Amino acid sequence: MQISIVVPLYNEDESLPELHDWIVKVMNANNFTYEIVFVDDGSKDKSWQVVETLAARNSAVRGIKFRRNYGKSAALQTGFEACMGDVVITMDADLQDSPEEVPELYRLITKEGYDLVSGWKQKRYDPITKTLPTKLFNWAARRMSGIYLHDFNCGLKAYRHDVVKSIEVYGEMHRYIPVIAKRAGFAKIGEKVVAHQARKYGTTKFGLERFVNGFLDLVSISFVTKFGKRPMHFFGLLGTLMFMIGFFAAAWLGAHKLWVVYYEKGVAERVTESPWFYIGLTCMILGTQLFLAGFLAELIGRNSPDRNTYLIEKKTGEGVA
């Protein structure tokens, strides 16, 4: 099978038939063998009934329904685990991503040898309250990750089959799939300018909190990328430095008092009367705690499960065109 199209969705019953027909039109026009994997992230509307209808009508459609809403990352991860195509395309279900981009994305993966190609919505039909924070977010992501993409969070992306089978998308890390892929060893990451469609049905499912969460996730993925497999290298080094600063501060106070008493024959102030004593003591305590944090992180990392599990309520369709 040439292409798997993974579509995470949440309360998108109005747009699904039109999106399905649009995808099928493009696939047939290019003679692709394909499957469409709809992952219903616990929708409360009639989205699942629409998916079942589409699956009954088109054998290339497969559906997966979560029992409750887990988030876009969980939907993508489950779709990645289920898909079978040589090239995997992800797109949002709200019709803002154009299936007309699929042939060129497929070519970039199969002919140009990219591991991952991310869409770049250069011209957006969003209010400035969304576009400005998005630009700031993408700037910060480029600086911290070293991957120079203009639109990390674009839902329209293409992957080699090996990429989606080798990465794990969890929490809200769908924004940083290129970073996760690079961490897994897939370094040839490209970008393509894609069309951005104005939303036709419904409203966005993401609020302003996504920018705060996005920044925190960026800090998290940056740390995990560098120290995820060796947390002691971060906490242990920082803890050792803090402890040594505190230890030498306390040692200097003790040595200074002994010098004054035995060589200058003077009366030295009590060590505990100096603020440096408390600074040194605090540094040694913090250093010890950081070292222990690194040690515990190593133990947890070595014993944690490799995958999160999600409760799947239903499946439908065979997924063969």
Q: What pLDDT does residue 307 have?
A: 46
* CA-to-CA dists, residue 12 to 7, 17, 36, 310, angstroms: 11, 10, 16, 21
Query: Per DSSP, what are the bridge partners of residue 87?
Result: 3, 160
Whole-structure pTM value: 0.72
Sheet containing 87-90: which strands, arranged edge to edge? 189-193, 116-120, 157-160, 87-90, 3-9, 34-40, 61-66, 312-316
Q: What pLDDT does residue 33 have?
A: 96
Encoded tokens for 173:
């890390």
Q: What pLDDT does residue 146 have?
A: 81
Q: Which residues contact 33 (CB under 8 A, 6 or more apart)?
A: 1, 2, 3, 321
Amino acid letter, residue 177: I
End-to-end CA distance of the chain: 9
**DSSP H helices in 58-207:** 72-82, 102-110, 128-145, 161-166, 177-183
Residue count (the chain): 321
Q: What pLDDT does residue 78 have?
A: 95
Q: What pLDDT does residue 52 have?
A: 95
φ, ψ for residue 319, nearest 5 deg: 75, 30
Spell out the per-residue pLDDT of the chain, length 321, in tens.
899 999 999 999 999 999 999 999 999 999 999 999 999 999 999 999 999 999 999 999 999 999 999 999 999 999 999 999 999 999 999 898 999 999 999 999 999 999 999 999 887 766 666 667 777 778 877 887 788 888 888 889 999 999 999 998 887 788 889 988 988 889 899 999 998 776 677 666 555 566 566 666 667 766 766 666 678 888 888 899 999 999 998 888 888 788 777 776 666 677 778 888 888 899 999 999 998 888 887 777 666 655 445 557 677 776 666
Contact yes or no for 118/91 (Cβ under 8 A): no
Amino acid letter, residue 199: R
Q: What pLDDT does residue 118 have?
A: 94
Q: What pLDDT does residue 206 have?
A: 54
CA angle (53, 83, 39) in 5-degree steps: 45
In the chain, DSSP assigns E strands to 3-9, 34-40, 61-66, 87-90, 116-120, 157-160, 189-193, 312-316
Torsion of CA 25, 30, 32, 35, to 10 degrees: -20
